[in-house]
Structure 1
């Protein structure tokens, strides 16, 4: 939401290259971040004055709306949302009215994850925005970040900073075209802002990455993105949004929440999330976070008490969370007891896990799986022979090259044919290996709700298969390789596994020490996917039914709104922000 008309005053400087579909990074992780502020808009009436002020009048860009101050017709909390409503009501002689909210002087932050869930109107004339401005300096030398703008059929994700001329900006800009159906649903916009870069996301898609070493104001030599910033929410009409004369009003911008998370020192030791013993001569351990390589590969940290079974090697895998032990003496169906201790995470001040014991059943060795082919995506430029099925045709000399809103390929094993996924092999397309970075292997029991069980963590070497273990002990009916957010552009992928059979005792849960802690005040729990994506954060008050961590975990486990699977859970005291529990649960 620039202060001046970009077509006349702005010098466009693209720091990133390629269109939106070339996004290749993995979604930002919330690991080691905590929520420091939010507005959930769960009340009624005007927005909370402790968080928001109002712009007033005709402010910028020759827009058609008059921004009103504290007028509920234009800005109100209702039904769990903030509603910013643009109206064609001729109020006080102004044909169009709307609202623009800012957190300046109230809620200001430097670095972190900024997140909004909202539904926008994409009709002609509409120009909604979710953006930030630096607290010091005049525009654009104070630094502008457009986490979300929409106008003229496109989502815009931009950064602006000072050029050599006053009031003219240098820009890092990316756009994405969306259709009229985009306004039918709520979407999530996120900014990951660090000292080094800014990433701007919409849903699962990385739309813009900007290197902050290149955002120096030419006019004063300062970098505006190393200072606190405040948040702006507004619904403009006209100007870049186009002619609204044919649009039926009101135009509504519904905001479910705005949240800010900031990084904090990691003080939680790693835990074993899942484990599997295989007849191939391995025990694979999946940990809750990245590990220190030296401690992860130290054989003295692992012991088996089963007669005739011995560990000869330990290897930390490329995801930095999985350790594969080379083990002799394993026999199909046998029980193996393994004890793990003193493994450290990769935090600057490393945290060391306490001793943990697991009882595992030796499973069959994984082999290449097949089933009914499923997939989505259209061949690039209608090129023959590059449809999604080419990624699983058994020929590493062919390749799939598909684009679209969803691009993936996989198998349906059929009812009663569930499989346990134990590995993944992939052969990148020559000169396009970077298009696999951050893409994921996902599983589902119903073909609708998908769980990420592996993400490609680095650009794979070309000219050969890369083989990785996957530790996921639950049987699944569906598996897929998901290229959505970039390209489904790969020579070959293979899923490894064996017929499904639930192995008891492999999933981890909270330790008794965690469960004994009671809180004397409100608790806030947050639920994440194992990959780190926040699903829900809620405050509950302590009473007879909810008297601490144990009761809170019971509530989470009984929540039917989430599919069965593994989730990372944190629980903290809202009064002093003390972290009471962090662990992985199975529900």
Structure 2
């Protein structure tokens, strides 16, 4: 008969119970790894073409971004409210397209291997050049003294070459044109052309007629002048162009003349534009006008848009005349070649009319002249 070792049996039972499964038993899970948090996030932004003269860039709108961070495995770049864009190496280029000078926010996110992230942002100001016509020539009249001789020269006298009274450039005008500072100068950011009553070279009035002939000539584009006009009965200011081939045997009107702005002091406020071609010149039928208030006391922008088949004339953006002949040939359209710019104040003559007996002096002030293509 076997004898039981009760102590051994009891120990065995306890051992089996401790190894059996249950709600409080089982194998413990391995410990989880700790979260990795990126640190030391830096963002540098280069605006392409930025320098001392162009602090907001060269007009391309492009920026170059570089981000660095400790424990980062990738980066996300966000430009304003646009969707985030990923970069594995922290480098990203972006191009803005809104024209002009504008401010933007650039945000970068640094992500770790465990998906944790931190972010920083920067404010930048970027210049984007206009995709439209570009400024190709201008005079802003920002240097006091005589007008820039690299841009302007003058018609002097009365047009006859001999200073004979009554020649009047073919329009019976009463002034004698000079390049004296009494008649033309740049002062306080303005070109000032002064028409004066004075005895000079057999004439009773002096003025200035300046031009860009042989210095700047162009075909097609937009040209504008910002000016405050002179006042007084008999005054006749003009902003206009002539064909550059006028002195090459072509002559007038075959060279073509474009009167962008003409104003008559005896009809103050009426701005007229006109075309002179072999088909219609002198008292041409090709003209248009509009009435503009305060032209002698405030600045307005007088403009021409010249394309391959039409001319559009405006004041402050308000169009008053379009020249677009149905048949375009040398008689109606000698405007497929260079023209040069003229600015002057005439006195009296065929368009200026009767001169006010009390007239003494008046000045046309010009803020700028600009040409775009």
TM tier, shorter chain?
0.5 to 0.7
Find the counterpart in structure 1 of residue 362 from structure 2: 251
| CA-to-aligned-CA distance 1:241-279 (integer Å, 9 cap, x gap) | 1222334321111111000011xxxxxxxxxxxxxxxxx
Candidates 236, 254, 260, aligned match of 1:147: 260
Find the counterpart in structure 2 of residue 114 from structure 1: 223
User: CA 1:246–1:104 in structure 2 vs 1: closer, same or farther (change >3 Å)?
Assistant: same
**Which structure 2 residue ranges, 5 or more long, are not aligned?**
1-129, 160-168
Find the counterpart in structure 2 of residue 162 from structure 1: 278
Say whether residues 1:233 and 2:343 are aligned partners.
yes
Find the counterpart in structure 2 of residue 55 from structure 1: 155
Candidates 195, 205, 210, aligned match of 1:86: 195
**Which structure 1 residue ranges, 5 or more long, are not aligned?**
1-29, 263-587
User: CA 1:253–1:203 in structure 2 vs 1: closer, same or farther (change >3 Å)?
Assistant: same
Number of residue pairs matched by the alignment = 226
Find the counterpart in structure 1 of residue 299 from structure 2: 186
Say whether residues 1:124 and 2:233 are aligned partners.
yes
Greater relative contact order (CA < 8 Å, ≥ 6 in sequence): 2
| Cα displacement (A) at 1:177 | 3.5
Candidates 211, 216, 230, aligned match of 1:102: 211
Candidates 152, 159, 177, aligned match of 1:67: 177
Q: Distance in 2 between matches of 1:248 and 1:57?
A: 21
Candidates 120, 130, 141, aligned match of 1:41: 141
Query: Which TM-score applies when normalising by structure 1?
Result: 0.37
On the 8 A contact 2:233/2:359 being kept in 1, the answer is no
On the 8 A contact 1:162/1:168 being kept in 2, the answer is no
On the 8 A contact 1:161/1:215 being kept in 2, the answer is no
User: CA 1:161–1:31 in structure 2 vs 1: closer, same or farther (change >3 Å)?
Assistant: farther
Q: Distance in 1 between matches of 2:355 and 2:183?
A: 17
Q: How does 1:416-565 map to 2 (within 5 A)?
A: none
Find the counterpart in structure 2 of residue 421 from structure 1: none
Specify the structure having the higher radius of gyration (Cα).
2
Say whether residues 1:204 and 2:304 are aligned partners.
no
On the 8 A contact 2:232/2:356 being kept in 1, the answer is no
Q: Distance in 1 between matches of 2:174 and 2:131?
A: 43
3-state secondary structure, aligned to 1:95: strand
Query: Which TM-score applies when normalising by structure 2?
Result: 0.57
On the 8 A contact 2:255/2:277 being kept in 1, the answer is yes
| Cα displacement (A) at 1:140 | 1.0
Say whether residues 1:173 and 2:287 are aligned partners.
yes
Q: Distance in 1 between matches of 2:258 and 2:230?
A: 21
User: CA 1:212–1:105 in structure 2 vs 1: closer, same or farther (change >3 Å)?
Assistant: farther
| CA-to-aligned-CA distance 1:54-101 (integer Å, 9 cap, x gap) | 111113201000011x21111111111111101112124321000000
| Cα displacement (A) at 1:195 | 0.4
| CA-to-aligned-CA distance 1:80-134 (integer Å, 9 cap, x gap) | 1111101112124321000000101000011011011000023211100000111
